[in-house]
Homo-oligomer: A and B are copies of this chain.
């Protein structure tokens, strides 16, 4: 039973697109990530996925529209919806999703992380 300080956790890594698990609630996980540039189009067919921006600004590209999410804002990508997270400058995000979700969803490529690490 320990509290988690986001800045403290962010200070422990620098890689982009490399989510780190910081907490679990039931069978859900909280992950922080630093993102910059463009991720890959993908979807999660079995689950919604929540993004909270803690610092900076990201774009959530979807086929129908692009949503700009800034610090102090959140967005839930509905299950099955193709999306592509992007950020012009480094952006710090908190992702919430069920344990076991693959970061690149239905697309397995060099950005896929087999086993996300706790930090």
A74 and B1: CB pair below 8 A?
Answer: no
B1 and A25: CB pair below 8 A?
Answer: no
A96-108 to B contact mask, C-beta < 8 Å, 1/0: 1110000000000
Number of A positions contacting B (CB below 8 A)? 37
Can you name the residue of chain B whose Cβ is closest to the Cβ of A54? B72
As for how many copies of this chain the complex holds, the number is 2
For A6, give its contact among B1, B67, B72 (CB under 8 Å): B72
B72 and A7: CB pair below 8 A?
Answer: yes
A1 and B50: CB pair below 8 A?
Answer: no
B98 and A3: CB pair below 8 A?
Answer: no
Considering only residues 13-42 of chain A, those with a C-beta below 8 Å from chain B are 22-26, 28, 30
A73: Cβ under 8 A from any B Cβ: yes
CA distance A23 to B98 in the complex (A): 16
Considering only residues 45-82 of chain A, those with a C-beta below 8 Å from chain B are 47-50, 54, 62, 64-65, 67-69, 72-79, 81
Binding site for B on A (CB under 8 A): 1-7, 22-26, 28, 30, 47-50, 54, 62, 64-65, 67-69, 72-79, 81, 96-98
